[in-house]
Amino acid sequence: DKGICARACSQVQECTHWSFGEQDGVTKCFLRKSDGGREEADGFSAAPKACAPPAIPDAWLAMSVAETEAMKACDAGKSEQCPDMARAMTTWRYAIAALKRASDGVLDAGTFQYVTQVESDTNAFVAQMSEENFPVVTNNNRQVFNALRGWMDGQPKAEVDAADQSLPMPLRGSLCGATSCYE
């Protein structure tokens, strides 16, 4: 999706232009450092960095992802409602990364250390997953997000359309894929 390509460019400091299209039967996104050497080609779209969907505020993104029904279904652990621990953890990692970006340098060090702790614990769990520890990790993540809910609610918000294919999967109503939130 060219919207995903545009969002990717907007998040990479070195990117000044992007192009998206099909090459050799595969859709590809090219992030560029300049507009030099660009050629017109059928089936390709190209634009400067500024031509992208609006940025999503990180605190709102973090809370919105954590509050999806798909994430809440995983609070009790692996189950019929939450059968895929890898997808749940990829989604938690995505939410935690957004919370970390939003709160770094804003929250006091004592509070911020809880964000870095759940990030570390979640990453350690991903390296060695077990059904036994899954509800412990999700519960710890949920506690930190719940503790910071008031602060996140006071941050800038966004209005998004769940049909927008350039949005990460949790904002469209599902968990992330096993390795990415843009599958």
Whether residues 158 and 83 fall in one domain: yes
Please measure the distance between the N-terminal and C-terminal CA atoms of the chain and give it in whole angstroms.
10
Supply the range of the domain harboring residue 31. 2-48
Residue type, 132: E
Q: Whole-model pTM? A: 0.86
Q: Which of 10, 29, 48 is at the close of a domain?
A: 48
Number of domains in the chain: 2
In whole angstroms, give the CA distance from residue 142 to residue 146.
6
Whether residues 68 and 129 fall in one domain: yes
Q: What are the pLDDT tens digits along the chain (183 aa)?
A: 788 999 899 889 999 999 999 988 899 999 999 988 777 888 899 999 998 888 899 999 999 999 999 999 999 899 999 999 999 999 999 999 999 999 999 999 999 999 999 999 999 999 999 999 999 999 999 999 999 999 999 999 999 999 998 899 999 999 999 889 987
